[in-house]
Amino acid sequence: MKRSMKKVLAGFTLVELMIVVVILGILAAVAIPAFTRYVKRSKTSEATGNISKIYQGEIAYFNQSSERSVASFASAIPLPAAAPTASKYPAQPTAFTSDSGWSAIGFSIDAPLYYQYAVSASDRRFTATAVGNIDGDNINSSFSRTAELNSGEIQGGQIVIASELE
């Protein structure tokens, strides 16, 4: 009487493993660029939010100064002073509060930030800008918003974005 011996095979074949590796490679090729784009877009939300705050601060400053019959917009120096890089600027809360222009519009940032902010202004117009280099490639993204006094009314434009994700 012969005993029948069955071979029990366990595990995966080389072909099956190679198919899994190819599938994972395709998924990684699609997911990594999408993830980096998502991270860059999340960093740009800082600029759009702060430009809106600066815009509102300028409008409030203009309205208060017009009550004193010295209607004008406030200029503010670029802060932080260093050129933008891929890494965040360290928090500099006193830099904003010690500058008369930033204090006038009531704008300051107490947390680390990616963008450099500035306001150029005259009696009839102001432009708030944010400049950053979120991926370190020496190409800056910029966000700006302008408002102008026209027949006694402030007319503001939309946020203009150049090279948002560089």
pLDDT computed for residue 163 by the predictor = 86
pLDDT computed for residue 68 by the predictor = 77
pLDDT band at 20 (very low <50, low <70, confident <90, very high): very high
Q: Half-sphere exposure of 164 toward its Cβ, with a 13 Å CA cutoff?
A: 13
pLDDT tens digits, one per residue of 53-101: 999 999 999 988 888 777 788 999 999 999 888 889 998 889 998 999 9
Is the pTM higher than 0.85? The answer reads no
pLDDT computed for residue 5 by the predictor = 62
Lowest mean pLDDT among 3-17, 43-57, 121-135: 3-17
pLDDT computed for residue 119 by the predictor = 95
The fraction of the chain above a pLDDT of 70, given in percent, is 94
For the chain, report the end-to-end CA distance as a whole number of angstroms: 78
pLDDT band at 6 (very low <50, low <70, confident <90, very high): low
Residue 66 in tokens:
């017009």
Mean per-residue pLDDT for 100-125?
Answer: 92
CB neighbourhood size of 134 (10 A): 27
According to DSSP H, which parts of 73-135 are helical? 93-98, 100-105
